[in-house]
Structure 1
Amino acid sequence: MTTRRRLPLTVVGGFLGAGKTTLLNRWLREAGGLRMAVLVNDFGALNIDADLIAATHGDTLALTNGCVCCQIGDDLGRALVQVIESATPFDAVVIEASGVSDPWRIAQIGMAAPELSLEAVVVLVDASAVAQQSRDALLADTLARQLKSADLVVVNKADLADAAALAAAHAWAERAAPGTPRIETVQSALPLALLSGLPAPSAAACGVCGTGACGHDHAPDHGAMFQTWSAQPMAAIPADTLRAWLRAMPPGVLRLKGWLRTGDGAEGDEWSEVQFAGRHGSVRRAPPPRDARAGVVAIGLRRQLPEEALDRFFAR
């Protein structure tokens, strides 16, 4: 028996000017042949290069790399149905929350669809402005509410903040979302593989985009900021054991994904897809990978990834 893979959903939130549109543009350009459906409020804000647009169909832009952008309009549910029922399946769907909305409410709409699997809520903050914005009584509640749902807080525009402003931004983010993983970025330089829910890379894959032969011209700061770890466990790991371990994930793991043997069934080996992002983890029955080889990859900040703890668990 095979289990159909649910479509990974990522919600991107953050206040006006935090860098959400810049992040989506990066991901669309770095898709590397993987099909993403990006749901946005306004095409104009994306400012997609004309040579990347293959066709326009009303509220949908088809891109030359297989991705699409769908304008949400007043009905997010309708836009999601169009993506789910697409004749050509997508690899992932990303929804941009408006600058004043609560990204968790949007994530809950996505969670209501059995065809979707919530992978992460990513919330960006403007390092140069958030400390001042949070002192505004009219904005403080909106900003704090956005962070409470985050699996990853991205302190963006770090290059535009002096040392005091950057420290204040981190202090505010920790108060608003204590313990939530947090990283600094410049120009929303967040690797697509980190939280997109796209297929797990092989052991030899690029640590930025998660593909084995991406051909991307990656910015050098990605390699300096992020570190990857991978393994190919030989033995089966029971699904319940995996779920318990995901609930107690060692600090420092921002993203973990893979396909693993989880037992012996009546029809042979049982396989599961394992996903972890920020605060969400899942173990779901899945067909075996094409080469029938188990593999798992973890991504974290350089010198913070707990490689010894990962080695101990997956070598059991």
Structure 2
Amino acid sequence: MGKDERVKVYILTGFLGAGKTTVLNSLLRQFSGHNNIVIENEFGKVNIDAGLITEKIDQLYELTSGCICCSLDNDLLEVLGNILQKEERPDHVFIETTGIADVGNIIGMFHMPDVQRHYELVSTICVVDAENIFERLQQVPEAGKQLSCADVIIINKIKQLAVPQLIYLSQQLEQMNPLAFITTSEDGFVPLKELHFPEKSIGATIAPVAPVKHPHKVNTVLFESPEAFDLNMLVFVLDLHFNAYPDQLYRIKGYVRIKDTPERMLVQSTGKYLHIQPAGEWGSATPSSTLVFIGKELKTPTIQRILTPALRK
């Protein structure tokens, strides 16, 4: 199946009360005239958010009594399979996760070959409440994981924020996830063009920013090396530590140099999924490895110690 024929998927995440459903309504309004399906997840037995969707959709799937990032993995895959059986495939699928979701596992599903053949994950959007995001980061680890997995971060409800506060908040969020594009909204409206940025350069300088009043503990470590990795050892050390420390290591992304191959390899990990796949020739660029690690209280020496055994000697 050609890429253009795949169903385009948007994942909306963010902590409770951030404004995810408002953003969803805004997107549906801008995609009016298309065949749109929404998958709603609520942790309780009754999905309140489903009643707040005001825009026209072609079908709504509700997953309740659990979180699709963990206990409802199979339910989500079943829904994705059912969608493919419809007489007319949709143009877009919007997945709104519960506010306490660790969205990494959901993203990982869309990197599975059987799912990738039919679905294209366009963007993972994290909505944050401008007034209380730092408190949320202190209270629950899921808020940090949601931010770390996002392609786009929407700072919502900015009306009460002074310009210097908004700039400071943007800087802090960029430090937490330098891979994401950050935009703002007063009432949940975000133009579609702001959700389709080209990929940011991996390995861009991670500049120091003044510490927050209440440390959020989520940080980024950049690893760079001209040496080539042994692919099997790299898979082993990353998989081992990613599964051993899921509450500390949230996300890995970057390109690496592998011995005995002219291709660069793309490394991505979210939730319980790790993917390493060819990403084309290096071209005029000098082959080297650049990896971004996002997590809680990560230390550069620790990351270097993890990766050193996988470097070719």
TM-score (norm 1): 0.52
Runs of 4+ in 1 over 6 A off after TM superposition: 1-4
**Paired-residue identity, %:** 23
Equivalent residue number for residue 61 of structure 2: 70
Q: Equivalents in 1 of 2:188, 2:146: separation in Å?
A: 17
Distance 1:77 1:3, change over 3 A: closer
Pairwise CA distance, 1:163: 4.1
Q: Equivalents in 2 of 1:2, 1:178: separation in Å?
A: 31
Distance 1:186 1:77, change over 3 A: same
**2:95 is the alignment partner of 1:95:** yes
Contact 1:124/1:153, CA 8 A, preserved across alignment:
yes
Distance 1:147 1:247, change over 3 A: closer
Equivalent residue number for residue 45 of structure 1: 49
Q: Equivalents in 2 of 1:3, 1:149: separation in Å?
A: 23
Distance 1:193 1:90, change over 3 A: farther
Q: Secondary structure at the match of 1:108?
A: helix
Equivalent residue number for residue 292 of structure 1: none
Equivalent residue number for residue 132 of structure 1: 135
Equivalent residue number for residue 106 of structure 1: 106
Contact 2:12/2:125, CA 8 A, preserved across alignment:
yes
Pairwise CA distance, 1:194: 4.3
Counterpart amino acid of 1:44?
Answer: I
Structure 1 residues not aligned, in runs of 5+? 53-62, 197-227, 229-244, 252-282, 284-316
Distance 1:19 1:2, change over 3 A: closer
Equivalent residue number for residue 21 of structure 1: 21
Equivalent residue number for residue 144 of structure 2: 144
**What RMSD over aligned residues (CA atoms) do the two structures have, in Å?**
3.1
Report Cα offsets for 1:181-227 as digits up to 9, x if no partner. 1111111111245438xxxxxxxxxxxxxxxxxxxxxxxxxxxxxxx
Q: Equivalents in 1 of 2:183, 2:4: separation in Å?
A: 33
Pairwise CA distance, 1:248: 5.8
Contact 1:122/1:152, CA 8 A, preserved across alignment:
yes
Q: Secondary structure at the match of 1:160?
A: coil
**2:147 is the alignment partner of 1:118:** no
Report Cα offsets for 1:150-187 as digits up to 9, x if no partner. 11111111113344543443233122112521111111
Contact 1:123/1:147, CA 8 A, preserved across alignment:
yes
Distance 1:48 1:125, change over 3 A: closer
Aligned pair count reads 188
Pairwise CA distance, 1:28: 2.5
Contact 2:180/2:200, CA 8 A, preserved across alignment:
no
Structure 2 residues not aligned, in runs of 5+? 65-71, 205-278, 280-313
Equivalent residue number for residue 265 of structure 2: none
Q: Equivalents in 2 of 1:187, 1:49: separation in Å?
A: 15
Pairwise CA distance, 1:21: 0.8
Counterpart amino acid of 2:181?
Answer: P
Contact 2:36/2:91, CA 8 A, preserved across alignment:
yes
